[in-house]
Every structure is written in structure tokens, then in C-alpha cells.
Structure 1
Amino acid sequence: MLIDDLKVVLQVAEFKSIKQAAESLDMSVAVASAAVKRVEKAYGVELFVRSTRKLRLSSFGEKYIPQIENALVILNQVGQSAKNEQNIIDGDLRLAVPSDLGRNILLPWIDLFASKHPQLNIRLHITDSTIDFYRDPVDMALRYGAPGDSSMYGFKICDVPRILCASPYYVETYGMPVHLKDLDSHNSLLYQLHDTVHDIWEFSCRGITSKVKMRSNRTANDADIVRRWCVAGYGIAMKSALDMSDDLLSGNLVKLMPEYTPKPTELWLICPSKQLITPMVRLLRESITDKCLTIINSLKKSGYL
């Protein structure tokens, strides 16, 4: 029996399903089932009552699962303390990142981080959807917006301005909007999260905040697609300055309506547990923070912010 076997048992107890536990741990059902059997054999008791469709804790499971959980916490703390003293960066980096930022900005940063720490295993989860740390196979998530769950542990990476922009082709074809009322005659490229289409855009100008409902013929639940549509000239987009930085600095996109400031956002690194805030997490946070601030400063020097 291995410590990893105990982790499998705890996940099975959490999900009440070997299949779901295996998916959350990125392993096969057969491997997860074998781990449970090894633990039960080592203890000489059945921790779960199984049927063809259901699985529940046995009386022994109800008694011993909490003790296993406590024991694992202590073992993890001992192991992490030893690594901290030796400055060892290893193990699995299971990170969720937004689609556009993840593919086009973060990926080379993460590759560089991994090359400096060859004992790391990268498990990258690219999604714009809300992360469920108890079901999704991730230990931390990089997300736009401050965490809404007070039980989470978060590190603010930086403030992120949003930018209203379009391609030079679009501006040449359809004109340059100057005032908010001009937006009525332009096609917007919209982002959708679950059932919510973000078609209300908020701006501030000289201390006055205004909201505009945008019309659109293109909506996507992937922020990367919205950026690509914008570069291709299909409409105007309001997105994170980080997401659009490369295209702005290269001239693929131009900033629109500079007198009007879109509502800004924030970038956060979020963990569900204090035990997951390891030296690896702290180093990753510092690395991402430095690189994000470098981009923001480049956009400021170029007059985009």
C-alpha cells in the first residue's frame, strides 16, 4: 500500500464513485480500483459497500476515512516541510488557465518555468468555465476577476485594463467609432459564459459611468475565438489588455475610443486549500506577476493604456 493509494480512497469517498474519482485523478478506473483494494487488504476491512450501480461507505469506512484524511494531512505537511528546507520544486503542476490567455500568452511562460524545474509534471487545463476544484483535475486556477468564494485562497497577480479594439481592416471598412452612440452602428464580438452573453459593455469617461447594450452576429464561449474574429475584421471587441497585447503591439489591432475607459478586471491565482500553497505556487505566482507587469508597462509605453 502506498500513500497515493490513500489519496485514491479519499477521492472515492468524496465522489462515492470509483469512476469519477479516477477521472479527477487522471487515472484509469482499473488503477483506482486496485488502489482501493490494496488499502482494504492492508487494513483487513472493507471501506466501501459496492453494488452494480452504487457505492457507499461501510461502517468501517465511516470510522476510518476521517482518520486517513487526517493522517494524509500530517504526511503532506512533513513532506512539504522537507522540500521547503531543500528548495525542491517537483511534483504535478495541475493548473487551469483561461483559453485566450492560456494558449497565446501563458503557454510559453509555463514551458520556460518547467524547463527551469525539470522535476515538474505539467497538467494544463484550458477552460473559460468556472472551476470546481472538487471535481476538475486541477489544484490551482488562474482566473480573471476576484474570487467570489471566501473559502478559497487567492493571490492577486495584477490589475488588468480592458481595451476596446478592432482590426485596421474593420476600421477602414466600417469607420472609427468616436462616441458611445456610434457603437449602435457597429458589430460587436461577444463572449458567452454558460447561459450568459456578455453584451452589456461598461465605460467610464470624465467620472461618468455608462453602459451600452451591444448588437452582434458572432458569440463564442471561447475568448480565444473572440480575439481571432477581431483580428480577422469581423467586428469590435472589448477584452483584457493582456489577451490583446501581442496583436496591439504588432499592429494587428487598433485601440478605439480612447476617451472612454472600459471597466477593468483583475487576474488572480486561486487555490482551494492552504496546503496547496507550496514553494512551486509562490514561484509560479512571482513569475507570472513579473511577466504580466512587463506586458502592461509595454502597453503603457506604446500609448495603449
Structure 2
Amino acid sequence: MSYLDSLRVFVRVVELGSITAGGRDLRLSPAGASNRIKDLESRFGVRLLNRTTRKLTTTEIGQVLYDNARKVIAALEEAEAVIASYSGTPQGVIRVVAPLGLGRRLVAPLVPRFVAENPEVEVRLRLSDRSVNIVEDGIDVAFFLGQPEDSALIWRKITDCPRVLVAAPEYLAARGTPQVPDDLKAHNCLLLRFPRSPEYYWVLQTPEGRRKMMVAGRFDADDGDVLIGWALEGAGIANRPRYEVEEHIQAGRLVEVLPETPPLAAQFGVLTPHRQLQDPKVRLFTDFAARELKARF
């Protein structure tokens, strides 16, 4: 592995806070990533990282190397993007992140087709319902449901994604079917929540306009598919994108609740860092994804 590749490993290790995570991101074993760090430390004759059982931090000189190495790598990636735009052959790695359910159902099937059309491109897809720092995590494309707030990112809307409230017939038979939004207060609402999540609410579309409903439930999860599973088992009412539950609604396994006052539709699109705006492979991938996914809604 070249000196530049070792610098790439060092930068990703610092950004992800772990030798294991940094190595995995670059398809290296923990031992391989650790050896690359040791090679750099031997080259410079200094310690670059402070390692404890709980956390990994840069030394003072390690921070200097990280700050400068990151600039070098960013400049090289920009140069590669410009060269690729002239060659007409997109090449290199695209790091993509998407929510779990959306990623499994809609994004993952696109990847083999895109790579088949662009064999010089590698796509590394990560699925998570947790929030990620797109810039710090080195993400090129992030599929997003909702309204992004980070002005440092480029937002490209693909379409609106309708949402529905659903519950199993057995749950509604036992607990009653909500007739108006206020009835939700008496029900077990299945919540998508993470550590340090803010106060939870659902926004419904009513004849009077948007209504913010504070809802509660006896349990929550950070995986939307878990919530659907619980709803199918009769555990409560879930608020999910329609594309995730339409099959269950058509089969009668789930029933749409409060169809006259559905949840506010989520904007569906992609986020890219400003630095990737001119990268032809990123632009090509987002164009491909937008075209293919818009047809699904």
C-alpha cells in the first residue's frame, strides 16, 4: 500500500474514531489498518494517535497531520473528478447512505444496475436509520426522508413520499379504531426513536391545516422495520411511509388508520456535500437514482 493510501487510512480512522471502523470503511482488516498507522508513525518517528480502551484521539502532531492530509486527499479527489469529466468515464468510489427500510427496498436494487452501466465505479452502501454527519463521515450521497436543515449540503428533491398510520385488525378490534386525531392519545403508538431524540410527535394533515400531535407508546425502536413487525403483531399503531406497508394493507394484514387526516408526506431526495457538486460519478449516480426512484412513487 502506498504512502498516500496510508494517509487515507489515517484520515478515515480519525474521522470514524476507530481503527476497526476506519479499516472497514476502506475494506481493510483491523490488523491491516493498524499496520498502516504504524507505518506512518515509523515514517515520521512520532506517535500519531492516543489509544485507550474507550476512545481514540489524535496527538498534537497527529492532528496537524490529519488537518493537512485531509486537504491533500480532498484536492486529489477534486483533481480526479475534473480528469474524469474530461475522460467521459466515471471512476472511483461513491459512498452512499440511506435509511434502513428505504435502503433495502428501493436503493439497494439500484446499485448492481448502476455499477453494470458504469464498471469503473464502486458503490459502498451503508444503511442506518440513525442520523449521520455526512461531511465528517465522508459520505458522497445520502438518501433522506424529511426536510434537511444543514445549509452546508446540496439538497435535491426527488418526490414527496406519502405516509400512513397503520395497525393490525386484531389491535383495532381490541382497542378500538381512532376516529379523530385526538383518539391517538389513548393508543400505543409505535415510535421511531434514537438516543437523545427530541420530544416525539406526529404531524397530521387535517381540514384545518397541519396538526402536531404529541403521541406516546410503551416501547420504541430505532429501526422502522421493527415498528412494522410490531404493528403486524398487533402491538400498536405505526406511522410509516406508504411504500413500506402498502403490500400489508392490500393483503389485509394492516389497516390504514385515520385516512382522512393522514401524516404529513415526507420529502424524499438526496443530500450531497458542496465538495462533490462537480464530481461526474456522483452527479451520474444521483441522476440515475432520481430517474429510477421517481417512477416508484
TM-score band w.r.t. shorter chain: 0.7 to 0.9
> Could you tell me how far 1:40 is from its partner in structure 2?
7.0
Q: Using the alignment, how far apart are the partners of 2:170 and 2:17 within structure 1?
A: 55
Unmatched 5+ residue regions in structure 2?
none
> Could you tell me how far 1:246 is from its partner in structure 2?
4.0
Q: Using the alignment, how far apart are the partners of 2:165 and 2:51 within structure 1?
A: 55
% same residue: 25
Q: Using the alignment, how far apart are the partners of 2:176 and 2:117 within structure 1?
A: 47
Taking structure 2 as the reference length, the TM-score comes to 0.77
Name the residue aligned to 1:230.
231
Q: Using the alignment, how far apart are the partners of 1:12 and 1:182 within structure 2?
A: 49
Closer/same/farther in 2, CA of residues 16 and 55 from structure 1, 3 Å limit: farther
Would the aligned equivalents of 1:16 and 1:56 in 2 still touch at CA under 8 Å?
A: no
> Could you tell me how far 1:51 is from its partner in structure 2?
7.0
Q: Aligned-residue CA RMSD in angstroms?
A: 3.6
Letter in 1 for 2:5: D
Closer/same/farther in 2, CA of residues 21 and 203 from structure 1, 3 Å limit: closer
Say whether 1:56 aligns with 2:40.
no
SS at match of 1:262: coil
**Deviation string for 1:241-300 (max 9, x for gaps)?**
34334434555433322221322322232234513763332233233323433232xxxx
For the pair shown, which has the larger CA radius of gyration, 1 or 2? 1
Name the residue aligned to 2:203.
202
Name the residue aligned to 2:124.
123
**Deviation string for 1:200-240 (max 9, x for gaps)?**
22223223333333343342121111122223433221122
Closer/same/farther in 2, CA of residues 47 and 280 from structure 1, 3 Å limit: farther
Name the residue aligned to 1:300.
none
Closer/same/farther in 2, CA of residues 50 and 294 from structure 1, 3 Å limit: closer
Aligned length: 292
Closer/same/farther in 2, CA of residues 246 and 95 from structure 1, 3 Å limit: farther
**Deviation string for 1:14-56 (max 9, x for gaps)?**
6787666445545334433544565677xx7446556776752
Letter in 2 for 1:163: V
Name the residue aligned to 1:302.
none
> Could you tell me how far 1:93 is from its partner in structure 2?
3.1
Q: Using the alignment, how far apart are the partners of 2:15 and 2:234 within structure 1?
A: 48
Closer/same/farther in 2, CA of residues 172 and 17 from structure 1, 3 Å limit: closer
Would the aligned equivalents of 1:157 and 1:285 in 2 still touch at CA under 8 Å?
A: no
Closer/same/farther in 2, CA of residues 244 and 291 from structure 1, 3 Å limit: farther
Q: Using the alignment, how far apart are the partners of 1:174 and 1:15 within structure 2?
A: 46
Unmatched 5+ residue regions in structure 1?
297-305
Would the aligned equivalents of 2:206 and 2:260 in 1 still touch at CA under 8 Å?
A: yes
SS at match of 1:5: helix
